Structure 1
Amino acid sequence: MAGELDLARERYCEVLGHRYRVADVLPLLAGIAALKGDTEAAMSWWTELLLLKPDHVLALLEKGALLLKTGERAEAIACFEMAATVSPDNPLALNNLAVALAQADRHHEALNGFRRLARLQPENVMPQHQVRRMTSRIVPFWHIPMLNDVRRNDAFEAAIVRAVAARGPDAQVLDIGAGSGLLSMMAARAGARRIVTCEAVPVIAEAAGRIIEKNGFADRIDVINKVSTELAVGHDLMSRADILISEILSSDLLAEDVLSTFEDAHARLIKEDALVIPRAATAVGCLAESDVLGDYCFVGEVSGFDVSEFSALSTNRLPVHGSMTNWRRLSLDVDLQTIDLTRKKHAEELRRLEIPVMADGVATGIIQWMKIDLAEGVEFSNHPSNYCDGGWLQVLHPFPKPVKVRQGSTFSIMVGHDRSSLILMPATLEEACA
């Protein structure tokens, strides 16, 4: 077989030397080079063909595939884009372009490509599967359980109803982080007539627009596909907002850049006396002991080998699904960190906190949850005693190593934040368990 390929290549090169039917011979030479694993030669032949015929679809597809294989994603995407332009309904061109975009982490463009292919081939399961796969990569899983969290929804709506009643139906409402559009629709149902909501993720913004229209509020709510820091008063909003609503708090309080977002809103987007929902949020927690959770964070001897050094590479936070894990509290609840979302500026914080220990045990870390102040008399908490597997989960902040604690003593931790994440670290690890 190899000898036959070599002979064929010789003959085709002879034909090419006479410049006879060049556009027909070059694909054959490129194909032979590819079969022999000579990527560089195959690329060269396809490039030569494209110099003769820049819109040669096969050459664009094959060269694009070789470029993608060698890691040259931008060049591969350019080839596939050209092929899709020349042949708009070519399934292979659409599929290859979407795959290359996905590999280049251009997920939204990849999703649109797979959607286009799914419309072109409704009977083909593969593009439908890719649409779902790409959507799952773009849209975090927690959106659905959060929407199904009745207690959270009721608390937000109670605060929103009070705010709209206080400021009147013509108040400008700004909702940062539209998601499904739920909070904006609550404001509209409460009587607000001017609502702007922004959403950075295109596919989520599109869904919010459809949901808002379906529920009859499209005349009151404008969905803008931007991050809030790109909004401009006088362009996206008629005026600075009288009411700010946002649910961008994460389970561990700060991970979604909440402080920078609220600071920017105070500086540019809302009035001095604007009502802010939520007004504040507090991280609450307790020392916890758990063999189950410990197995997610620490390792010692495995199959007769000491691999404990790998514990240094473990996660610094672990979502806790209340119905899926067991843990024992070693202290009462302690307020760890409060952030006042009505403040215009926030600096990093770090302080020492003494936690009274109520039981002997080995502390895996701090189990943390939230207490949210939405309005006067309106609070929400995902306390683990009566709340699990909702939109906001409890979070384990594991210590670098398990720590022995004694009933009646106090355990010192350094607590604070670096503006984007909570800091919860033992002040000392003198009693750390090996």
Structure 2
Amino acid sequence: MPNTSARPKHGRRARRRRRVDPARDQLVSSSLESAQQCLLNQDYGTAFVHYLLVLNLAPVFKDFAQESFRFTLFKWAEELDSVGRIQELFDCYEQALEIFPADEVILNSMGEHLFRMGFRDEAAGHFHKALKLKPDYPEARENFYRVANWLVERWHFLMLNDHGRNRKYQQAIQKAVQNGCNTVLDIGTGTGILGMCAKKAGAAEVYACELSKTMYELACEVVAANGMEGSIKILHKKSLEMEVPTDIPHRVSLVVTETVDAGLFGEGIIESLIHAWHHLLLPPKISTVVPSVKTTFQMFQKSSSSFNCILANLEG
């Protein structure tokens, strides 16, 4: 005889009903009313606190309150900014993003505050997240391109499209890997191009580091787009701070880098390579660096009051 008291089976567990809590429901209701009243009275700080309480206790109100919550956040942020309470401003944005982590409008707004205060890497990250959530969001796209102009100098694009330079690097890396240097560290990877050259050359292990957060995230995307996401480990770190085995499991046999400027030494290549030889590379007889040979051209042009010195670049 069937058990008539048993609950019907539906192939999966029935969802539990939300436990009724009259005290909590009363608190949520009164806080929501207070938030709306404070908003009408332009008391944005108090309204923000009430909205936080409501949305944390009763997430079911998220859709209903999202627009008002955004408006309150932005107005309260303006007041905090006007009196220099910057840390509180960012705390409010962090609290808002805990509740609405996928809100492209809040992400974009926080990015604007970060950019205006000089935190360009962090601003770019927020604009990028907003664009991922809504690719046709015009404000986020404009902001992202604006901050990109600050973070990525235009000469990077010319350099990346210098086929002669790229070919020389590729040939030098290929030769080193064929000679047995199959563990590689790319210092200052930028877009990740040299690390990818090493992997394509057949290197068994490829590591890369990049100090700029924006370029680090870009390198991760470029590497993933080229199907090498699992074969190149990219670290958001300055090479001078890297250690074995904390950051890479062992010393490498090849370091590749393009940390040079038109004057050769402007991007700290000497300091980076000295640190690499002491802490990250195997002994010289079984390891190498690309580029390893430099040719420096020097021209002096005499003027009425001074000499102008022009230094050329580094050869692969």
Q: Which structure carries more relative contact order (alpha carbon 8 Å, separation 6+)?
A: 1
**Aligned with 2:176 (options 151, 163, 185):** 163
Structure 1 151/365 Cα, relative in aligned 2: closer, same or farther at 3 Å? farther
- 1:79 & 1:24 partners in 2: Cα distance? 18
For 1:271, what is the secondary structure of its paired residue?
Answer: coil
Q: Secondary structure at the match of 1:240?
A: coil
Which residue of the other structure, out of 257, 278, 284, is the alignment partner of 1:267? 278
Partner of 2:308: 366
Matched, 1:224 2:242: no
| 2:94 counterpart residue number | 81
Task: Work out which of the residue numbers 155, 180, 183 in structure 2 matches 1:142.
Answer: 155
Q: Give a deviation string over 1:103-132, Cα, whole Å, max 9, x none.
A: 232223322322333344444322111122
Check whether the contact 1:115–1:131 (CA below 8 A) recurs between aligned residues.
yes
> 1:204 is matched with which residue?
215
Residue number in structure 1 paired with 2:292: 279
Change (3 A) 1:172 1:366: same
For the residue of structure 1 that corresponds to 2:206, the secondary structure is strand
Map 1:269-418; keep pairs closer than 5 Å: 269-273=280-284, 274-281=287-294, 283-288=296-301, 330=302, 361-362=303-304, 365-374=307-316
Code of the residue aligned with 2:75 in structure 1: it is: E
CA RMSD of aligned residues (A): 2.9
Following superposition, the deviation at residue 190 of structure 1 comes to: 2.6
Aligned to 2:206: 195
CA distance in structure 1 between the aligned counterparts of 2:87 and 2:313, rounded to whole angstroms: 46
CA distance in 2, matches of 1:140, 1:240: 32
8 Å Cα contact 1:253-1:281 kept in structure 2: no
In structure 2, the CA distance between the partners of 1:77 and 1:164, relative to structure 1 (3 Å rule), is same
Q: In 2, distance between residues paired with 1:117 and 1:95?
A: 6
Distance 2:191 2:274 in 1: 24
Q: Deviations over 1:218-261 (max 9, x none)?
A: 45432222221232322432321111111101112222122221
CA contact (8 A) 2:184 2:207 kept: yes
Q: How does 1:86-125 map to 2 (within 5 A)?
A: 86-88=99-101, 92-125=105-138
Q: Distance in 1 between matches of 2:78 and 2:135?
A: 25
Give 1:337's aligned residue: none
Whether the aligned pair in 1 keeps the contact of 2:35 and 2:46 (CA below 8 Å) is: no
Change (3 A) 1:224 1:50: closer
Distance 2:221 2:52 in 1: 41
Match of 1:132 among 125, 142, 145: 145
C-alpha distance in 2, partners of 1:286/1:46?
A: 64
Residues 176 and 198, structure 1, Cα contact 8 Å, conserved in 2: yes
CA shift for structure 1 position 146? 0.9
Q: Is the 8 A contact 2:262 2:313 kept in 1?
A: no
Pairwise CA distance, 1:78:
1.7
Structure 1 residues 27 and 268, CA gap change in structure 2 (3 angstroms)? same
Q: Which residue of 2 aligns with 1:172?
A: 183
Structure 1 length-normalised TM: 0.54
Structure 1, unmatched stretches of 5+, are 1-20, 31-44, 289-329, 331-360, 375-434
Aligned pairs for 1:226-241 (under 5 A) are 226-241=237-252
Q: Name the CA distance, whole Å, in 1 between partners of 2:104 and 2:119.
A: 19
Separation in structure 2 between the aligned mates of residue 138 and residue 86 of structure 1, nearest angstrom: 30
Uncovered stretches (5+) of structure 2, i.e. residues with no partner = 1-32, 55-68
Which amino acid counterpart does residue 250 of structure 1 have in structure 2? D
Is the 1:179–1:208 contact (alpha carbons within 8 Å) kept by the matching residues of 2? yes
Q: Kindly indicate whether the alpha-carbon contact (under 8 Å) linking 2:255 and 2:288 is maintained by their aligned counterparts in 1.
A: yes
Q: How many residues are matched?
A: 267
Asked if the contact 1:111/1:131 (under 8 Å) is kept, the reply is yes
Structure that is richer in strand per residue: 1
The structure richer in helix per residue is 2
Aligned partners of 1:251 and 1:369 also within 8 Å = yes
Q: Is the 8 A contact 1:73 1:104 kept in 2?
A: no
- Three-state SS of the structure 2 residue aligned to 1:167 is coil
Q: Distance in 2 between matches of 1:22 and 1:213?
A: 48
Conserved 8 A contact 2:112-2:143: no
Describe the SS at the equivalent of 2:312.
strand
* Partners of 2:124 and 2:148 within 8 A in 1: yes
SS of the residue corresponding to residue 265 of structure 2 reads coil
* Equivalent position to 1:249, from 256, 260, 271: 260
Shifted more, 234-243 versus 144-153: the winner is: 234-243
Matched, 1:62 2:75: yes
TM-fit CA distance, 1:89: 5.4
- Could you give the per-residue CA deviations for residues 120-169 of structure 1, whole angstroms, max 9, x where no partner exists? 4444322111122122222232221111112222322232222222225x
SS in 2 for 1:234: coil
- Change in Cα spacing, 1:122 to 1:372, as seen in structure 2 (3 Å) is closer
Q: Of 39, 43, 46, which residue of structure 2 is paired with 1:27?
A: 39
**C-alpha distance 176-51 of structure 1, shift in aligned 2 (>3 A):** closer
What percentage of residue pairs aligned between the two structures are identical? 25
